[in-house]
Structure formats: C-alpha cells, structure tokens
Amino acid sequence: MGLSYEDLIVGTSIEIGKHTFTRDEIVEFAQKFDPQPFHLDEAAAAESPFRGLVASGWHTCSVMMGMLVRNAFADSTSMGSPGIDEIRWLKPVRVGDTITMMNAVLDKRISESKPDRGIVSTQWEGINQHGETVITVRSKALFGLRNPGAAS
C-alpha cells in the first residue's frame, strides 16, 4: 500500500512534478473545453488583455490534477474529494511556460461519521519558470487510514 492518511503531515509541502505547456496542447484543450479566442488564436489573443495565447485555467487545473494522481496518489488510499474550496488564477500560463506543482498539507482530521478515513485539506501551487505563482487551489481529499482506530 502506498500513501495513506497517516503519511500526510500537516505543514509539509512536496513537489509533485513539472509540465511545459505547448501551443498545440493549449489550442487542443481550448477547442474541446474552453473555446475562448485568447486560448485558440494567436491574432485574437494578441488583441486580448493577455497580449498573447494563454492556456485555459481549467487546462492548468487538469494538468495539475493529472500530476497529483500519477505522481503522488498512485497506489494510495485516496477516496476522491468532496470538493474544491478555492481556485485562483493569478497569472496567465503562456506557450512554453514550465509549471512546477507543489502540494502542501494544511490540515487533517479523522472523519467523525466514518472513522476509517480522514479529511485532508491541501493547497496546490503552480509556479512558473520565473518563480511566479500562477495558480493556487485549496481543496479537501479523503484518505483511508492504514490502521483505523490507531490514529488520534
């Protein structure tokens, strides 16, 4: 068994992975899920407030979720999430940007109604190659306990 509730330590932050956004993937995602001109067309994007092609915020969230599942939650006791508390798109993600994802454990508690699992509050941060935070996400996740009843 991989990562479980007991392994998640409040106050810790780990790097989950890096991803470089290409023009083709930005446009492909936008065509399917967020077809706004500044995600699809360089000429239209140049006339937008972004002054160039940018990734959809939902694309950035999706990439981060994929890294989290593949690189941290694979073979874990993750039971999904009851939801996202907050998403902030702080800076645009542009063609060629490499985003490093960090995941911090903010708080955790054992469920009162289902004591075989815990609720973990986390903050994801995406940081570009210039050291600028481009996105933050606050969420909760459910994790099974390795030894229910043994944790306090």
pLDDT in tens, 80-130: 999 999 999 999 999 999 999 999 999 999 999 999 999 999 999 999 999
Is 139 a domain residue?
yes
Cα 135 to Cα 37, 60, 92, 115: the distances in Å are: 21, 8, 9, 33
Q: Is residue 42 part of a domain?
A: yes
Predicted local confidence at residue 148, as pLDDT: 86
Classify residue 113: in a domain, yes or no: yes
Q: How many domains does the chain have?
A: 1
Residue 150 lies in a domain: no
Residue 100 belongs to some domain of the structure: yes
Q: What is the pLDDT of residue 38?
A: 97
Q: Residue 152 pLDDT more than 90?
A: no
Kindly state whether residue 149 falls inside one of the protein's structural domains.
no
Between 2-6, 123-127, 137-141, the lowest mean confidence (pLDDT) is in 2-6
Beta bridge pairs of residue 148: none
Domain that holds residue 110: 5-144
Q: How far apart are the first and last CA of the chain?
A: 21
Per residue in 46-82, pLDDT tens?
Answer: 999 999 999 999 999 999 999 999 998 888 999 999 9
The pTM for the full model equals 0.91
Is the per-residue pLDDT at 149 higher than 80? no
Confirm whether 56 is domain-assigned: yes
- CATH number of the structural domain spanning residue 98: 3.10.129.10
Q: What is the pLDDT of residue 150?
A: 67
Quick check: is 152 in a domain? Answer: no
